[in-house]
Amino acid sequence: MSVRSYDGLLLRWDGLCVICGNPFPNKDSVTKEHLVPRCLGGRGNSDNIAPSHFMCNQARGDLSLREAVVLIELKRKQMGEEEFD
């Protein structure tokens, strides 16, 4: 994604990660997250893309967003906030 499209993506999502709800320290930490995973038929269009932290994206895998939120909360508690981001 281009910097411009990341700007638009962040603007649509109020600059927050769709999974953990935290802001991004910089644009380099933004990855695109498929709301409906591609393996479940999700598309790469703007209606199915949201911003996420790299670690949130990796931790989610093919889980539902609800499952991912629970998993991320557990990981943050176990690892600590600074270590996880």
All residues at 6 or more sequence positions from 6 whose CB lies less than 8 Å from its CB, including other chains: 27, 30, 51
Query: Quick one: 72 exposed, middle or buried, by C-beta within 10 A (0-12, 13-18, 19+)?
Result: buried
For the stretch 26-71, pLDDT in tens is: 888 899 999 988 888 888 888 899 999 988 898 888 888 888 889 8
59 contacts 20 by C-beta, under 8 angstroms: no
pLDDT (0 to 100) of residue 81: 64
Higher model confidence: residue 5 or residue 52? 52
Query: Is the full-model pTM beyond 0.75?
Result: yes
Q: In the prediction, which pLDDT does 64 show?
A: 86
User: What class has domain 3-84?
Assistant: mainly alpha
- Per-residue pLDDT for 1 more than 70? no
